[in-house]
Chain A
Amino acid sequence: MSTTLEHTHEEHTHELAPHIRIGRARAGVLMLILSDTMSILAILAAGGYLNALNTENAFRASGDHAAGFVPGLLLAIALVVSGLGYYLWARTTRKNGGNGLPLFFILSLVFMLVALVGQTWVSLTLNRDYVSPYSAYESVITLISWFTAVHLLLAVIIGVLLLGRITRNRVKVVGLNYVPEVVGYWWFYTIIGSILLWLFSLVI
């Protein structure tokens, strides 16, 4: 019984309709973003809470500092450029039936990579400056710094995979043209989340 069913329908009929595939991709990524936002909120809440409690007056020891403002600013600019590049690529892709300008995407990926390298450097420098055991303030800054680095790494990995699709001309595959849009959600989310965490590290 089951076999006849599988044979007659195997090749064509069980493909999901395009609008279902789009809805599925959007919903999946948005929920991933919701979940990840909760972990960012957990970090913000933890930092703010420890700051407010200032247990034993030891939250921030004298001489404790965040990462330098200028490197942070440069990284933020790199991320904004990356976002802009991605936006332009996705826009041209949408307007030209899947044939976007890959240059924009490469620009976006390169700047994301620059941000990753920079963020890793910032994190490593921080840990060289801080003396263990770290104060709660230094702990929060360390967490923010590495959390951001991991997110940028994830974006770079996704970017490289997407570059693979672009070079194989798989972005305009019929029924899969939502990929630039949906990956974009995560791309922009990474950028906004990282900048938000950086700003938080400045004010805490």
Chain B
Amino acid sequence: MTQVSVTTEVKRPGIIHRLFPSVVSGILLGIVGAVVFNVITNAITQDNNQDATVVFSYVGWILFFFVGIGAFNGVWKWGFGRAEATTAEELELAGKDQGLWRYFRYTTDHKVVGMQYLATTLFLFFLGSLGAFMIRLEQSQPGALFFNPSTYNTIVGMHGILMIVASIIMISGPFGNFVLPIMIGARDMAFPRLNALSYWLIFSIIPVFFSTIFLGGFQTGWTGYAPLSVQTLTPGMDAYSITIIVFAVSTTLAALNIITTVMVLRTRGMTWGRLPIFVWGVILSVLLGLTAFPTFLMSQVMVLMDRVFQTSFFIAAYGGNNWLYEHLFWFMGHPEVYVIALPSMAVAAEITSVFSRKTVYGRRMLLGSLITICILSVVVWGHHLYTSGSATALNAAYMLDTELISIPTGFFFLALIGTFWRGKVWVTVPVLFIAGMLVNFVIGGITGIYLADLPTDEILHGGMFVTAHFHFTLVGSMVFGFFAAFYYWFPKMVGKRLNPRLGTLHFWLFMIGFNGTFLSLFFAGLQGEPRWSANVAPPFATANLIASLFAILIAASVFVTIYNVIITLRSGERADANEWGGKTLEWSVPTPVPLENFEHLPVVTSTPYDYGTPEPHPSDAEGALEPAPLLPQEES
């Protein structure tokens, strides 16, 4: 494929402008960069340092990929251009009149970036779920079935980190980019180029990450614990570390961009008090990411230094310590759970309000609890080290503050149930997913208390109970929230209506399959089954078989969703501009959303939850609702 583009480039000069800069030229130049760096590194390191070669080849790939895709053009012009970019140039960069090709370029339009994130998220979820099915297949019966233990560990690790990465970006990426700027009445993000950069950084590490399969895999699981990560001889571990470093940079850029956007680009009247709860959820999440991810980045820098330059951050014989890794990792690792959770919880509140035709119950209380969760989550990471012996004296403190989190989390349930309460609920696919989320979150949350509790954690840690617990919170709760958002905003983003019957089927297959799988694994955990063991021991065979059988339903739900998206893209009904009768600003603009979103910037006069008396009816969605509280604003 790449060869074809080379020849067309030569034969038809007109197309050069389209291909350079684009993802095609990025990949071509990136490969050249990798080869060049590879040769240079091999020449410099006499003793055939395989890790150095892999690391610097990837540095070459990433650097030159971004040269090729044109990421440095704007930087160069900022310094050495004759003048600032004109509005016409900015619009060209935003993908004006470039059709579908704009999705394959360094396009700055926030809606394009949002769609890129959405496609990438779904792609990563699909691959991650393939890993999950391989795991369930291997664990369906005792003994080795398909994979050797090392391959199995790599599959578990890849499944884990893929799903974590995908769920970190699943809401802030697609909806934080596409919907959030419109929601606050902005024409684009604060830093459109950085926005494109944050997406393409993720794109650039996808091949790096998957190359770990060909580089011997990584046996550490998704946490990449040292010293195993340092002792692992295969260079697959280097690919893992590079992936994490670049991902941390990407999330940092995305975070500062989103926060700045909300700080400076809110339209007139969009006070902090009137900000939709979804926007709050996203900015709290990315703020948390902004402070938590640098330590993860540094931990991987240290791992790479230990591997490539023979330093000893994590090697006890020379004064290093594995606890250092565990602290650096979990200082990111626990907040990261809330980086995933906060926007999902906020989405749930947002959507519940729309479909109950009622204002969010206890909106300030909910906001306060999201902020409290955000703050508490930074000081609880030690609960992941209870049994490590690292800070035994602090265990009680960690137990207390961890369990405190259940209080604001309880307020979240209160807010959602209060919003549903006595509303005439319009039961749509998003609402089904929120109902599922509430059920699963109760199970995930309550089992979490047993893990936060020292005495019970002594027994349960390192076992299947933990696995089942965090799948209930991350998948059963937060990914369900993502799918609610997906079905809710898909009509706005794509302009077509997903088939609600298939959506309902998706929900029930997922809900039943998920609960069957992970309730069985709770049982296996209580029986004492350890995590991360390639072969199921005979006492746990039944629970694991049941889990694997229920996983077939989850697999079916995945394919139902893919089928639904494909038929909708090909021949779905056109969606209304205000598909659900929502009052947030994204529903006030036409579908497809114009390049700069608003003809006139709106003036906001109230919160977006004024539904008056709760007399909702599905026919409200036909446009019978009064328009959102907007007045045209004079352009300044």
Contact = CB atoms under 8 A, between A and B. Distances in A.
A55 B316 contact: yes
Interface string B53-88: 000000000000000000000010011111110011
Contact of B635 (A13, A28, A133, A163): A13
Interface stretch (A16-24, A106-114, A193-201): A16-24
Contacts of B306: 139
Interface stretch (B200-208, B254-262, B530-538): B254-262
A31 B310 contact: no
Contacts of A160: 79
B83 A170 contact: yes
Contacts of B252: 32, 35
Chain A's interface size range is: 35 or more
Nearest to A27: B260
B504 interface: no
28 contacts: A2-B590, A5-B595, A6-B596, A11-B88, A14-B596, A24-B260, A27-B259, A27-B263, A27-B264, A28-B190, A28-B256, A34-B290, A38-B294, A38-B295, A42-B295, A42-B299, A49-B321, A49-B327, A50-B321, A50-B324, A55-B320, A58-B319, A133-B318, A136-B319, A136-B320, A139-B312, A139-B320, A143-B301
B538 to A, nearest CB: 40
A2 B84 CA distance: 26
Contacts of A95: none
Interface of A: 1-2, 5-6, 9-15, 17, 20, 23-24, 27-28, 31-32, 34-36, 38-39, 41-43, 45-46, 49-50, 53-61, 132-140, 142-143, 160-165, 168, 170, 173, 176
Given A53-B321, A136-B313, A161 B80 contact: yes
Interface in B305-328: 305-306, 309-313, 315-321, 323-324, 327-328
A133 B310 contact: yes
A165 B75 CA distance: 12
Contact of A31 (B91, B260, B328): B260
Contact of A24 (B91, B191, B324): B191
B501 interface: no
Contacts of A61: 319
Interface of B: 75, 78-84, 87-88, 91, 96, 187, 190-191, 194, 252, 255-257, 259-260, 263-265, 290-295, 297-299, 301-302, 305-306, 309-313, 315-321, 323-324, 327-328, 590, 592, 594-596, 599, 635-636
In the A-B complex, the 3 residue pairs with the closest CB atoms: A161-B79, A136-B319, A139-B311
Contact of A60 (B187, B319, B323): B319
Contact of A139 (B82, B96, B260, B305): B305
A36 B294 contact: yes
A142 B83 CA distance: 42
Contacts of B88: 10-11
B317 A58 contact: yes
Nearest to A168: B82
A133 B80 contact: no
Nearest to A127: B309
Given A6-B91, A20-B265, A142 B320 contact: no
Contact of A55 (B191, B255, B305, B319): B319
Nearest to A33: B256
Contacts of B260: 24, 27-28, 31
Contact of A143 (B75, B295, B305): B305
Contacts of A15: 87
A43 B91 CA distance: 42
A122 to B, nearest CB: 16
Contacts of A13: 635
Contacts of A17: 636
B402 to A, nearest CB: 21
Contacts of A43: 298
A24 B310 contact: no
Contacts of B264: 20, 23-24, 27
A168 B324 contact: no
B373 to A, nearest CB: 20
A49 B324 contact: yes
Given A1-B590, A46-B324, A134-B311, A39 B297 contact: yes
